[in-house]
Structure 1
Amino acid sequence: MLEVFVEKDETWTSDEYGRSHEGRVGVLLDDGTVPKPVYFDSASGSSGWEVSHWSVYDGAGTYLTRPKADVLRAECSCGWTGTGHAVDWTTVGEAPFHESGLPTAERCEDDWDTHIRDVADTTVPLPAELEALFQTVTAAIENLAQDSPTAAIKAARALELIAQRTAHWPALDVRDQDPQRVAADLGLSVDAARALLARFGGWHPHG
């Protein structure tokens, strides 16, 4: 009997890279193939939905046996895949797969975390003094929020205005550069980088 895991496909994102590097736990069967989503009927039987969360691949099922996961691995929307971690079905016992397989799934998330750090290392670096300044400003606004939340909001709004003013011309400068290179420097997909430039530059992203 599946519970919450039928409701959504769990994914991971970072604040900086968003859906450009959206991670999830992927599944491989014993023949090395990626299984199709599992279809579940609704309670009324009039409709249903497809689920690809790793926990549904438990080899169970009343009328139609579901595929059984052999390996779990981290996957990213950028196309990266992590090391495969074999599922040890000999130690499962009576526990449902979404419980017994959780340690393996967490190893996949750790792999994705490492991937995100690797992505950060490939992006264009910022000067150390600017990074330090960002940390100082962040701490100052967080402290300000404890005394005056509205002042903290005003400070955050000031940062938004600074970002818009200072990024406008740089966005125009790089608009005609190689989209792949710009996206790689920012750690984003080409579409996400294009949308970011459009927002700062003030043009339509598909214009």
Structure 2
Amino acid sequence: MLVEWDWWTVDFGDAHAGAAGALVGGSEPRPVYFDVGSGSDVPSTTHWSAYDGRARRPRADALRAACACGWRSAAQYFLDWDTIGDRPLYEADVDLTGPLADWTAHLSVVRDAAVPLPERLAALLAEIAGQLTATAADVPLAALRAAGVLERIAARVGRETAGALRDDGMPAEVVATALGITRSRALVLLLTAQDG
């Protein structure tokens, strides 16, 4: 199934990617499948824009904010089908500011619960990001090499740190909250450290 997230942050990556989610009859509809002819692979999606009532697909009544972590906003933003008319939703001028604001508020709660980065490290990471972006424009292969080095450093330090936390008996729930990830991802992180 194709999962298309509309919003993403560097802080939390895909753990807290966000989107406007469709509501049909007050609940989240099943995925929409696309008939692409014969074959065993039938593509599907849950992206809000697919729920426009066309080609026997359900028609969304409202949208709400959704997060990859499973969080859903309580607020619903009803679609004005008189204004949308017969157009596909992806062509209509649908206002997503409400769902985006709700998802942003959710991220604030996650960010407030997460362990803060030391100020010096946060500044260094911002500087590295700037340098990598500038290098990518000037010398793309050097930027790619540097990204690989950073990835290996991060993987090694991450394995060692996760292993130490696991050995200290740190609960997955505490790790999840501190890192802004789901409990299942925290468990994987702690268990993977065993193999590292």
Q: Considering the TM-score relative to the shorter chain, is it more than 0.5?
A: yes
* Structure 1 residue runs without a partner (length 5+): 1-6
Q: Structure 1 residues 169, 87: closer, same or farther in 2, change over 3 A? A: same
The answer to whether the aligner puts 1:52 opposite 2:43 as a matched pair is: no
Q: Deviations over 1:3-37 (max 9, x none)?
A: xxxx94422443443342233332223x4233333
Structure-1 separation of matches of 2:138 and 2:47:
43
* Structure 2 residue runs without a partner (length 5+): none
Structure-1 separation of matches of 2:186 and 2:174:
10
Structure-2 separation of matches of 1:73 and 1:9:
16
The residue number in structure 2 matching 1:186 is: 179
Q: Structure 1 residues 202, 70: closer, same or farther in 2, change over 3 A? A: same
Q: CA RMSD in A?
A: 3.5
- When normalised by structure 1's length, the TM-score is 0.70
Q: Structure 1 residues 170, 85: closer, same or farther in 2, change over 3 A? A: same
| Amino acid of the structure 2 residue aligned with 1:26 | G
Q: Map residues 15-164 of structure 1 onto 2, 5 A cutoff.
A: 15-29=10-24, 31-43=25-37, 50-61=44-55, 65-82=56-73, 83-100=75-92, 102-105=93-96, 107-145=98-136, 148-149=139-140, 151-153=142-144, 155-160=146-151, 162-164=153-155
CA contact (8 A) 1:70 1:86 kept: yes
Structure-2 separation of matches of 1:47 and 1:160:
34
Structure-2 separation of matches of 1:115 and 1:68:
27
Structure-1 separation of matches of 2:172 and 2:159:
17
CA contact (8 A) 1:87 1:104 kept: no
Per-residue deviation, 1:153: 4.8
Structure-2 separation of matches of 1:165 and 1:49:
37
- When normalised by structure 2's length, the TM-score is 0.73
The answer to whether the aligner puts 1:196 opposite 2:189 as a matched pair is: yes
Deviates more, 1:68-77 or 1:20-29: 20-29
Q: Deviations over 1:39-68 (max 9, x none)?
A: 54444699955543323333344xxx5432
- Tell me the secondary structure at the aligned position of residue 22 of structure 1: strand
| Structure with the greater alpha carbon radius of gyration | 1
